[in-house]
């Protein structure tokens, strides 16, 4: 997934950014709401992590504005404000989850995964794609009871496909999903990772539509 992190505390922001990256997600970290506004206008995000108190305004106002504009991107609030009334305000404003600081980074990873599953319409972390048994929570894939190991980047690309099974995804869409602003990658990076996934998961799992992109064949063959 591509995630927008809005957090003005340097230490926490760095820790969350590194945790998200280690989980295989692309992350854009900003410390001002003005930067967040610019980000959502120029990029398509799968999830937003939102602090409530920013130097140039209130995160809750930002959230209300996004929802009023019709933005349905899932949002998890990260804040030190732990009153029940604060949680109610956040959820009523359109947040999908609310995590109080300080929090365990592994719990954040689990919350991100859970919200993503709900938005994909499949809250069950267990799924089957052809002969593959996929556990989204554990980020594991088994075939014939044997574990198939993927790197973080390979998993991130596979996740991009399983979010939209049987749908054609262009190379630029996949790049937007995998890379944050400022990331440097080769022009053939997507092709390289698609090739690796085919070798590990099956040569006919991902279909190439020449000149247009790729699609995951989720049905049994």
Reduce the DSSP state of residue 77 to 3 states and report it: strand
Q: Is 77 left (phi over 0), alpha (psi -120 to 50) or beta?
A: beta
Q: Is 120 left (phi over 0), alpha (psi -120 to 50) or beta?
A: alpha
Summarised one tens digit per residue, pLDDT across range 170-215 is: 988 888 777 766 676 778 889 999 999 999 999 889 999 988 999 9
Summarised one tens digit per residue, pLDDT across range 30-73 is: 999 999 999 999 888 989 999 999 999 999 999 999 999 989 89
Domains delineated in the chain? 2-119 (3.40.50.2300), 126-216 (1.10.10.10)
How many other C-beta atoms can be found within 10 angstroms of the C-beta atom of residue 66?
A: 20
DSSP string covering 26-62:
EEEEESSHHHHHHHHHHS--SEEEEESEETTEEHHHH
Q: Report whether pLDDT(219) > 70.
A: no
Summarised one tens digit per residue, pLDDT across range 122-173 is: 666 788 888 899 988 778 899 999 999 998 888 888 988 887 878 899 988 8
> Cα–Cα distances in Å, from 44 out to 8, 21, 96, 137, 172?
21, 17, 18, 23, 12
Please state whether the predicted TM-score (pTM) of the whole model is above 0.85.
Answer: no
Q: Give the pLDDT score at 24.
A: 83
Q: Give the pLDDT score at 187.
A: 80
Q: Give the pLDDT score at 221.
A: 41
CA 98 to chain centre: 17
Mean pLDDT of the chain: 88
Q: Report whether pLDDT(93) > 80.
A: yes
Q: Report whether pLDDT(28) > 90.
A: yes
Q: Give the pLDDT score at 163.
A: 79
How many other C-beta atoms can be found within 10 angstroms of the C-beta atom of residue 48?
A: 24
Q: Give the pLDDT score at 182.
A: 64
Q: Give the pLDDT score at 204.
A: 87
Summarised one tens digit per residue, pLDDT across range 103-121 is: 999 999 999 988 887 776 6
CB-CB contact of 130 with 144 (8 Å): no
CA 142 – CA 146 distance, rounded (Å): 5
Q: Give the pLDDT score at 113.
A: 87
How many other C-beta atoms can be found within 10 angstroms of the C-beta atom of residue 74?
A: 20
């Amino acid at each position: 997934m591509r995630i927008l992190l809005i957090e003005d505390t340097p230490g926490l922001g760095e820790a969350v950014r590194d945790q998200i990256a280690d989980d295989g997600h692309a992350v854009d970290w900003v410390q001002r709401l003005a930067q967040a506004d610019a980000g959502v206008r120029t990029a398509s995000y799968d999830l937003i992590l939102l602090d409530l108190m920013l130097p140039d305004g209130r995160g809750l106002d930002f959230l209300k504005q996004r929802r009023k504009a019709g933005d349905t991107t899932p949002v998890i609030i990260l804040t030190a404000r732990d009153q029940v009334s604060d949680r109610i305000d956040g959820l009523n404003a359109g947040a999908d989850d609310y995590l109080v600081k300080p929090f365990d980074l592994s719990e954040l990873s689990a919350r991100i995964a859970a919200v993503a599953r709900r938005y994909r319409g499949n809250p069950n972390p267990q799924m089957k794609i052809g002969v593959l048994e996929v556990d989204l929570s554990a980020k594991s894939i088994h075939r014939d009871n044997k574990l198939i190991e993927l790197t973080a980047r390979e998993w991130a690309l596979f996740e991009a496909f399983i979010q939209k099974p049987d749908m054609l995804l262009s190379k630029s869409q996949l790049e937007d999903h995998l890379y944050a602003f400022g990331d440097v990658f080769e022009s053939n990076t997507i092709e390289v990772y698609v090739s690796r996934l085919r070798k590990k998961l099956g040569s006919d799992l991902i279909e190439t539509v020449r000149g247009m992109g790729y699609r995951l064949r989720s049905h049994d063959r």
